[in-house]
Each structure stands twice: as C-alpha cells, then as structure tokens.
Amino acid sequence: MVSLSPLSLLLLRLLFLFTLTHLSTSQNTTTKHYYLKLPLLHKTPPPSPSQSLLHDSLRLSHLHHHSHHHLHRLTSPVISGASSGSGQYFISLLLGTPPQPLLLIADTASDLIWTHCSASTHHNNNPHNPIFFPRLSASFKPHHCFHPSCKLVPNPPNSHCNNASTLHTPCLFNYSYADSSSSSGFFSTETASFLSKHKHEHKPTNLTLSFGCGFWVSGTEFNSAQGVMGLGRGPISFTSQLGRRFGNKFSYCLKDYTLSPPPTSYLTIGGGETQNDNVVSSKMKFTPLVVNPLSPSFYYIGIKSVSVDGAKLRIHPSVWSIDDNGNGGTVIDSGTTLTFLAEEAYGEVVTAIRRRVRNLTVPSPTPGFELCVNESKLVKGTSLPRLKFELVGNSAFSPPPRNYFIATEERVMCLAIQPVNSETGFSVIGNLMQQGFLLEFDRDRSRLGFSRHGCDVP
C-alpha cells in the first residue's frame, strides 16, 4: 500500500499479528545480541478468491549503522489469516501508556505508521475493532510543525504548518492512497511496548515511535484493522525507525497457509551472530536490492530471465528494467498475495505452462483467473510445471508449484499470476510466491537474501 505512488496489491493477505512478542537475547564471551521476534500466524482464506482478486486488481490499476558490541534484533511470531475475508498481514501493536492493543496492516510498500484515533475517552464498543485513544495515554505527544520529522510526511492542503507561528502548532499529516483510502490527523510520538526476555526473566521494553494519529479515516481498506504499519525503505517506516536501535535489517518467513493447524512463522527486526544465524546465512542466496528514485519506498530486485521446467522463456531483458519515468522493474512485497508480471512476461509464462498442463485444464476457469487445472487428474508422482526466476547476482529463485497455484474451488487449482500493464506498472512477487522461504532484507548491504532453510529457526 503506497501513498499516491505505485500502490501495492492486496489479495489473500497473510496476517502479521504481534502475539507473544518478546525481546530475545543470546550472549557469548564478547558480544550480546538482541532482537525483536514477532509471531506470524495464519487463518483460513477468504470465501471468494475472485472477489478478492478483483479488489487486488483495482488497487494494481493505481499501482504504479549499528555497533559490533550491541547488535539488536527484534523477532515476533506471525499468523497468516484471512478468516475475516481481508487477506492482509496484521500487526498487533501495544501503543501508549498504559498500552492499548491495536491491529495494523503490515505493508512493505509504504512508510508511514498510523492508527485510527478518537478524541473521545469513552471505551470502544467494538472489542474486535479497537481505536487508539490518545487522551488515555500519558506518553502521547504530537510533533510540532517545526519538528524535522514533520517534513517527512505529506501535509494537507492549506495546512496550519504552512503558516505556523509557534512551536505549539501540531504537525498535521494527510496520507492518501491511490485507491482513494486516506488517513489524516496529527503526526506524533508514542511509546510502543514489547515484552523482553533474558534467561528466565520477562521485562517490558518500551520504544518510542513516530506515527500518525488519524482522526479522519476514509476507505473500506481498513475495515479489518485500525491502521497501517509501514515497513518500506523511507525514514519514517517501522523498520527504519527501529533500525537505529536494532540494526538495519529485517526478515520474515511465510509458511504454507493451507496447513492445519496453522504453523507459526516469524517477522524479525534486526540481525545477530548466533550459531543458528550463521548456519542459515551460509545457505542463503543473495540478489541486490535496486533503488528506484521515483519510488524509493519499494524493495526492487532485478530479474534476468524466467524458465518453466528448465526451458528459458523468450522474454526481452527490457521487460524487467526500470525506465526513465520510474515504471517497470520488479518489487518484492509481503503485502501482495498474487504475483503480477509485465504483460509480455505473463503471456510467455501462461503459454508455457498451458502447453504442459493441456490435459489437466478445466473448460471454465474460476472467474478472475486465466488458467485452472483439475487437481484430481494429476497422476501420482507427477507435479505441476516448475517456475524459476534467474536473478541479478547469479542467484535463482525457484518456488514450488503450490506457491503459484492456489485452490479456488473443490479439486480446482488456478495459476495465481496476473498481468500488469508494462508501460505504467511493475511486476510484483507476492507473498504466496514467497511461502516457505526465509527472506532477509539487508538494507546496509542493499541486498535481499532468500533460503528454503531457516523458516523453522525460532
């Protein structure tokens, strides 16, 4: 989700839920390591894939230094969940003094952290959709117009900040998304609470965050959440703010959402040097993160070619490049479920896969999908065609078929890849394609690491 810049897709979003959040430590003879571990959890998919796809496509149409002595890392379990029909990642954040629990959409394609706020002090009548009450918090403090951070957020037209004469004038923000959803209010600071763990002791750890307190919120995008947790590359994102204390790196692993009971995955903020870290890192492949000056919040990677069952497809390299207008390229986005490819690449992929599954296709694909197969016709011991993305940096990303074929009806599986206009959009590797991989976003080295190992490392 992005602010009036290319907008990230949302379909079958897995949910980031901060439960059992704790600060873990490990210590050797010379160095102590800290990290925040956030649990990733999962719920069942929404009832109508085609409706979710339509919503996702509508959004796509608009889309277009830390010490060696104290490395910090934050890790939390994550639940994938779509039982609410939302398909987004949610983060459960404890905000304020005393802490108030909130559920925020985790979005790697935007920067601002904001919550739905209320000036009232009345208790929320809906426990499943709480709102943040700044008047009930002793640590809430709006930024003033002259605060340097105020320059990092978009201000509303005719903002008071334009004519501010005192330091008491609050910093107003107006964050609008390309699907017409928006939030506006006071850009502020607040205390976020986490539970620290060292040996057998559990102690609260408090961190100060700059965030938007949105008193005016519009759009249906936020019906299942109380705001957005921006995880992008900008200076006000959650990962950037915590990077000053926990290291300029974060990682996550999304486990198979079809498993029952739902497996626990983790979002980790920061990095360490434990034995498990070294084992996992030794098995990681890396590709450079590309910077697009016109869309600096996104995590771009470079694709060189695509193969199906080992056969390289005839796709011109320019299809994957970023042009002078900032269009094109490929974004890794945990907030997008399906994968979207530039039209030319999409056509070649669908043609190659269709040729290999022609005896399995169903005559009437699920609405919103171009290619669907009858799962019951799969011969035992065989599998669906295998995709491989050759990346810049001499690495290859080769996900299993279940990462790009999803069940849409009983015994029917559809290709979870969609086309995007090559001239005005860009390709997106969605979270479904990322399942089962540990992804590490190393911002200091400007690289993305990925591995099939490490998802089970606590």
pLDDT in tens, 91-133: 778 899 999 988 887 788 889 999 999 987 665 545 555 789 9
Measured distance CA(273)–CA(405) in Å, rounded: 36
**153 secondary structure, DSSP code:** S
Kindly state the DSSP code that residue 326 receives in the 8-state scheme.
Answer: S
Distances (CA, A) of 418 to 25, 337, 338, 349: 42, 11, 7, 10
322: three-class secondary structure by DSSP: strand
Q: Which residues of 222-256 are buried (b: 16+ CB within 10 A; e: fewer)?
A: bebbbbbbbbbbbebbbbbbbbebbbbbbbbbbbb
Query: What amino acid is encoded at 131 in this protein?
Result: I
The pLDDT, as a whole number, for residue 370 is: 96
- Tell me the C-alpha distance between 404 and 372, whole Å: 11
Q: For residue 288, what are the β-bridge partners?
A: 447
Residue that is written with structure tokens 């002595």 in the block: 69
The fourth-level CATH superfamily of domain 283-451 is Acid Proteases (2.40.70.10)
In contact, 340 and 11? CB cutoff 8 Å: no
The superfamily in CATH containing domain 15-279 is Acid Proteases (2.40.70.10)
373 SS3 class: strand
Strands, E assignment, 239-386? 249-253, 265-270, 285-288, 300-301, 303-308, 311-312, 330-332, 339-342, 372-374
- Cβ atoms 65, 27 nearer than 8 A: no
Q: For residues 413 and 403, give the distance between their C-alpha atoms in angstroms, rounded to a whole number.
A: 11
Q: Provide the residue-wise pLDDT of the chain in tens; the chain has 458 residues.
A: 544 433 333 333 332 323 223 334 333 333 344 677 766 544 334 434 444 444 454 344 334 322 222 334 555 544 443 333 445 667 778 899 999 988 887 788 889 999 999 987 665 545 555 789 999 999 999 999 888 999 899 888 767 676 666 667 899 999 887 667 889 999 999 999 865 444 445 556 788 999 999 999 887 666 667 888 898 999 999 989 988 777 788 888 877 766 666 566 677 888 654 445 554 667 899 999 999 999 999 999 999 999 999 999 999 999 999 999 999 999 998 877 889 999 999 999 999 999 999 999 999 999 999 999 999 998 887 899 999 999 999 999 999 999 999 999 999 999 999 999 877 789 999 888 988 899 999 999 999 999 988 776 44
Residue 295 φ then ψ, to 5° = -140, 70
- Do the first three CATH levels of 15-279 and 283-451 match, i.e. the same topology? yes
How is the chain split into domains, by residue range? Answer: 15-279, 283-451
Tell me, what DSSP letter sits at residue 220? G
**What would the pLDDT profile of 266-317 be if each residue is shown by its tens digit?**
778 886 544 455 546 678 999 999 999 999 999 999 999 999 999 999 999 9
